[in-house]
Amino acid sequence: MKSTDIFVPQDAPGAGAVPIQLDGHPRWLAAGTTLAQLVTALGHEEKSVSTAVNGDFVARGSRERVLVAGDVVLLFQPIVGG
């Protein structure tokens, strides 16, 4: 699946479409879409954003998790420094 093929039109999601919340907005994704694929499809470099799903931080190495119906996904800028 190409990264651009993960988004499903909200007006006709059809069977197999997965509803999620992305940064507070409803989105429909193709079944089997991973968090890593979502980040890429949105045009972000892997290291340019941090991610959380359902309120839990998801490390870059764990982004191969498949998103499921009802997941709440947040993308945010990583904070560095001390």
What is the CATH architecture assignment of 3-10+17-76?
Answer: Roll (3.10)
pTM of the entire predicted model: 0.87
Q: Where are the domains of the chain?
A: 3-10+17-76
Q: From CA 2, how far away is CA 60, in angstroms rounded?
A: 20
pLDDT digits (tens, 9 = 90+) for 66-82: 999 999 999 998 777 65
pLDDT digits (tens, 9 = 90+) for 19-68: 999 999 999 999 999 999 999 999 999 899 999 999 999 999 999 999 99
Q: From CA 12, how far away is CA 15, in angstroms rounded?
A: 9
- Cβ(54)–Cβ(72) under 8 Å? yes
